[in-house]
Amino acid sequence: MADVAVLGMGNMGAAVARALLADGRSVLVWNRTATRCEPLANEGAEVAPTPTSAILGAPVVIASVLDYRALKNAMADQLDLTERTVINLTWGTTDEARELAELVSTRGGRYVEGGVLCRPEAIGHPEGDILYSGPTGSIEEVRSLLASLGPIHYVGSDLAQANALALALGSIFYASVLSFLEAVAYADRLGISADVMAPLVRIPLGLAGSTIDASVDQIERQDFIGSEASNAVHSAALASVAQAFTAADIEHRLTDAVSSYFDSAAQLGLSHLEVGALLRIMSRTAAEFNAT
């Protein structure tokens, strides 16, 4: 029996398998398209012909497949998972995480939810950040194995918490990258190359970090009157950004979306407050939005 089975040989699953092999683990791999396993076989992994043989071939199963449906399909057989731990690194909704945890539990297994917050090449290194949630006992059973993948960020016993946090933090990632690309498109119109701007990105990101810290404090105190910049000031600055992007004839959908929040703040009388007060807008339900 192998030490661990890895389901899914996409970029992330292959990186997980390689990190485990590099740490001296015996690894069993499976992928729906068998040829994706060949590079790992050449590096010392054993290839399982079916997902069932992979799951039954190791006490620990790490899943890195496309989505929860693909993982449930891989576990379609009524397998006895007693004494097995399933570590799920697949993204999906919190409801899907809880449903899968229940499925594993009813079959006698332990379940650990994971949320990957790094690029595949970071797995096995200090930058290989992965969030984990689940019963502390289940985490401790596989702690040394998880350490092979990178830092262990344990976020709580609620099985869906790693999923929820990964989704929340993922939204920050995508917004940041797309905001950068909008900025690159604008700078390019002015003859400024991306490699000139990239080193300077740390400046607004650092400012965003300090603004986030201030917003957290304001949210905890529910006091959004501060001495930095009001939403009216932010709105005016963002209007200048949007005007410049429009003049340069580039797509700027993300900038427009951000501007819409400040427009709502003005309509709701929040312009004199600081940016953390926009949480009141984002926390409203769809029905509340439609009612305004």
Burial (CB count within 10 angstroms: exposed 0-12, middle 13-18, buried 19+), residue 171: exposed
The CATH number of the domain holding residue 47 is 3.40.50.720
Whether residue 178 is contained in a domain is answered as no
pLDDT at 211 over 80: yes
Residues 86 and 225 in one domain: no
Residues 155 and 224 in one domain: no
The CATH number of the domain holding residue 276 is 1.10.1040.10
Whether residue 21 is contained in a domain is answered as yes
Whether residue 190 is contained in a domain is answered as no
Residues 22 and 136 in one domain: yes
- pLDDT number for residue 284: 84
115 neighbors 166 (Cβ within 8 angstroms): yes
Whether residue 119 is contained in a domain is answered as yes
pLDDT at 290 over 90: no
- Backbone φ and ψ for 70, nearest 5 degrees, come out as -65, -40
Whether residue 238 is contained in a domain is answered as yes
For residue range 5-62, list pLDDT tens digits in order: 999 999 999 999 999 999 999 999 999 999 999 999 999 999 999 999 999 999 999 9
Residues 141 and 31 in one domain: yes
Q: How many domains does the chain have?
A: 2
Residues 220 and 147 in one domain: no
Residues 122 and 228 in one domain: no
Whether residue 196 is contained in a domain is answered as no
For residue range 85-137, list pLDDT tens digits in order: 999 999 889 999 999 999 999 999 999 999 999 999 999 999 999 999 999 99
- The token duo for 52 is 């069932």
Q: Which of 164, 187, 213 is the last residue of a domain?
A: 164
Residues 232 and 134 in one domain: no
Residues 14 and 157 in one domain: yes
- pLDDT number for residue 291: 53
Cα angle for residues 58, 63, 65 (degrees, 5° grid)? 140
pLDDT at 2 over 80: yes
Residues 276 and 160 in one domain: no
Residues 27 and 150 in one domain: yes
Residue 86 CA, chain-centre distance (Å), reads: 19
Whether residue 44 is contained in a domain is answered as yes
> What does the alpha-carbon distance between residue 6 and residue 27 come to, in Å, rounded to a whole number?
7
- Backbone φ and ψ for 114, nearest 5 degrees, come out as -125, 145
Reduced to 3 states, what is the DSSP secondary structure of residue 131?
A: strand
Residues 21 and 139 in one domain: yes
Please spell the DSSP secondary structure of 142-166, one letter per residue: THHHHHTTS-EEE--SSTTHHHHHH
- pLDDT number for residue 91: 87
Q: Which of 164, 192, 222 is the last residue of a domain?
A: 164
DSSP state of 46: E
Percent of the residues in the chain that have a pLDDT greater than 90, as a whole number: 90
Reduced to 3 states, what is the DSSP secondary structure of residue 133?
A: strand
Quick one: average pLDDT of 188-195? Answer: 96
Cα angle for residues 227, 228, 231 (degrees, 5° grid)? 105
Question: If we measure between CA atoms, which residue out of 39, 13, 11, 41 comes closest to residue 26?
Answer: 41
Parent domain of 213: 201-291
Residues 158 and 213 in one domain: no
pLDDT at 168 over 80: yes
pLDDT at 161 over 90: yes
Whether residue 159 is contained in a domain is answered as yes
